Amino acid sequence: MPDALKNELLQLVTDAPDLAALEEVRVAALGKKGRVTGLMKELGGLSPDERRERGAALNLLKDEIAAAIDARKADLNTAHLKARLEAERIDVTLPVRPEVEGRIHPISQTIDEIVAIFAEMGFTVADGPDVEDDFHNFTALNFPPGHPARDMHDTFYLPDAGDKKMLLRTHTSPVQVRTMLSKKPPIRVIIPGRTFRSDYDMTHTPMFHQVEGLVIDETTNMGHLKGCLIDFCRAFFDVDDLPLRFRPSFFPFTEPSAEVDIGCSRKGGELKLGNFGDWLEILGCGMVHPNVLEACGVDSTRYQGFAFGMGIERIAMLKYGIPDLRTFFEADLRWLKHYGFVPLDVPSLASGLTR
Ligand code: DAH
């Protein structure tokens, strides 16, 4: 009798067309009121010998049916997934439909443009962690302990964890250190990324973006630094004769150091970039300090080079006429629709940076 029942139940399992039907078969066989369960309940009325024999046979039957149900379930699931994959196939190479609302954030767009320009000059992109230690963010960059420049950074320190003082990086410069520690010169990298300072007003947000540049080899000098930044600014702002002014300045990690202004006009309250006699500061730069090279294991009697750093929001605001820094991070879809960029308009120098 179990054989006939077994064959019948196995047939039902095989014939179940979907998961719901299979579940019905399971309940009818193994559920509380199922047929196999019913037979189990009858065991009580048998003699001990009969009970042992029949009990063993019923247990076997139960296991076999349960295994068959599991196998069928797996088959049905695979078939279901396969059918879905076939039915829901999408062609990722199709162009974006115009009615799609998504926009590229001006920060992403600006970073893409910066990368496109420096890639043409032979730079590669490097990155590093947002959570840094004191060594990479300050000490290796020639900020001595207690140096006032550390206070100027309004650092977010993390709760003490062990012997290392951890913080949110206040600039992208620590990635200079990481790059020099992990790569041999010649080095030619840019480092776009998030930075953090405890500050909030019209022109400061606690999180903002910078792009860092670093060139290290045996011959690079201040003339190369100037040429590189002049070419970059003219390409980025798309003003062929944009004048640049290099003003002496101070950063612990460069010597000499300079701040760079670009030419502009503020006539009538409107800011225009070009050769108009007025100036606007946009970045810091200099020749990498020998102390920094040595802290990173680079022989300062053989190697030299330049570094620069600039705020990405600032140059994005200038280029795209965005008046308030804080709006970048308010996640307002109307703002994004107005200032954002159409996807797949990937910037390159050949196609024009923005269209
Ligand atoms: N790290 C500086 C800051 O956040 C910016 C900077 C200045 C970076 C000069 C540099 C540099 O690499 O050479 O204020």
In tens, the pLDDT along 32-91 reads 999 999 999 999 888 999 999 999 999 999 999 999 999 999 999 999 999 998 898 888
The Å distance, Cα 191 to ligand 1 centre, comes to 12
Q: What is the pLDDT of residue 100?
A: 67
Residue 27 and residue 161 in one domain: no
Please give the residue range of the domain that contains residue 23: 2-87
The Å distance, Cα 309 to ligand 1 centre, comes to 4
Backbone angles phi, psi at 149, to 5 degrees: -60, -25
Residue 224 and residue 110 in one domain: yes
Q: Decide the pairing of beta strands 131-133 and 254-265.
A: unpaired
Judge whether 281 lies within some domain.
yes
Backbone angles phi, psi at 249, to 5 degrees: -150, -170
Residue 70 and residue 112 in one domain: no
The Å distance, Cα 264 to ligand 1 centre, comes to 22
Residue 83 and residue 112 in one domain: no
The residues lining ligand 1, judged by C-beta closer than 6 Å to any ligand atom, are 171, 173, 212, 251, 254, 284-286, 307-309
The Å distance, Cα 281 to ligand 1 centre, comes to 13
Judge whether 136 lies within some domain.
yes
Residue 74 and residue 165 in one domain: no
Q: What is the pLDDT of residue 355?
A: 45
- The CATH number assigned to the domain holding 301 equals 3.30.930.10
Residue 35 and residue 125 in one domain: no
Under 8 Å between Cβ of 81 and 88: no
What mean pLDDT is predicted for residues 110-122? Answer: 97
What is the C-alpha separation between 320 and 334, in angstroms, rounded?
16
Q: Is 211 helix (H, G, I), strand (E, B) or coil?
A: strand
Judge whether 129 lies within some domain.
yes
Backbone angles phi, psi at 322, to 5 degrees: -95, 115
What is the C-alpha separation between 330 and 281, in angstroms, rounded?
26
Q: Which residue has the tokens 């990368």?
A: 115
Q: Given the CA of residue 288, which atom of ligand 1 is nearest to it?
A: 13
What mean pLDDT is predicted for residues 215-235? Answer: 98
Question: For the chain, what percent of residues have pLDDT higher than 70?
Answer: 95
Per-residue pLDDT of 278-303, as tens digits, reads: 999 999 999 999 999 999 999 999 99
Residue 116 and residue 152 in one domain: yes
Judge whether 221 lies within some domain.
yes
Residue 119 and residue 175 in one domain: yes
Residue 227 and residue 144 in one domain: yes
Q: What is the pLDDT of residue 152?
A: 74
Strands (E), 124-217: 124-125, 131-133, 166-168, 187-196, 207-217
What is the C-alpha separation between 194 and 311, in angstroms, rounded?
10
Judge whether 99 lies within some domain.
no
Judge whether 225 lies within some domain.
yes
Residue 78 and residue 110 in one domain: no
The Å distance, Cα 55 to ligand 1 centre, comes to 81
Can you give the pTM of this predicted structure? 0.72
Q: Please tell me the residue having the least CA distance from ligand 1 atom 4.
A: 171
In angstroms, the Cα distances linking 272 to 57, 171, 204, 236, 242 are: 91, 28, 22, 14, 11
The Å distance, Cα 250 to ligand 1 centre, comes to 10
What mean pLDDT is predicted for residues 106-119? Answer: 97
Number of domains in the chain: 2
Given 52, 87, 122, which residue is the final one in a domain?
Answer: 87
Two structure tokens written together for 320:
């795209």
Q: Which residues face 204 on adjacent strands? A: 201
Residue 81 and residue 121 in one domain: no
Q: Is 157 helix (H, G, I), strand (E, B) or coil?
A: strand
Q: Given the CA of residue 172, which atom of ligand 1 is nearest to it?
A: 1
DSSP H stretches of helix in 158-289: 174-182, 222-237
DSSP H stretches of helix in the chain: 2-15, 19-30, 35-42, 48-87, 106-120, 134-137, 148-151, 174-182, 222-237, 290-295, 312-320, 333-339
Q: Which residues face 258 on adjacent strands? A: 248, 285
Q: Please tell me the residue having the least CA distance from ligand 1 atom 6.
A: 309
Two structure tokens written together for 327:
């709006």
Task: Kindly report the average pLDDT of the chain as a whole number.
Answer: 92
Q: Please tell me the residue having the least CA distance from ligand 1 atom 3.
A: 171
Q: Given the CA of residue 173, which atom of ligand 1 is nearest to it?
A: 1
Q: Please tell me the residue having the least CA distance from ligand 1 atom 8.
A: 309
Between helices 19-30 and 35-42, what is the axis angle to 10°? 10
Judge whether 352 lies within some domain.
no
The Å distance, Cα 156 to ligand 1 centre, comes to 18
Q: Given the CA of residue 171, which atom of ligand 1 is nearest to it?
A: 4
Residue 137 and residue 19 in one domain: no
Strands (E), 218-288: 244-251, 254-265, 272-273, 278-288
Per-residue pLDDT of 164-183, as tens digits, reads: 889 999 999 999 999 999 99
The Å distance, Cα 8 to ligand 1 centre, comes to 79
Q: Flag the least confident range among 300-309, 315-324, 337-346.
A: 337-346
Q: Given the CA of residue 210, which atom of ligand 1 is nearest to it?
A: 4
Two structure tokens written together for 32:
């509380």
Q: Please tell me the residue having the least CA distance from ligand 1 atom 5.
A: 309
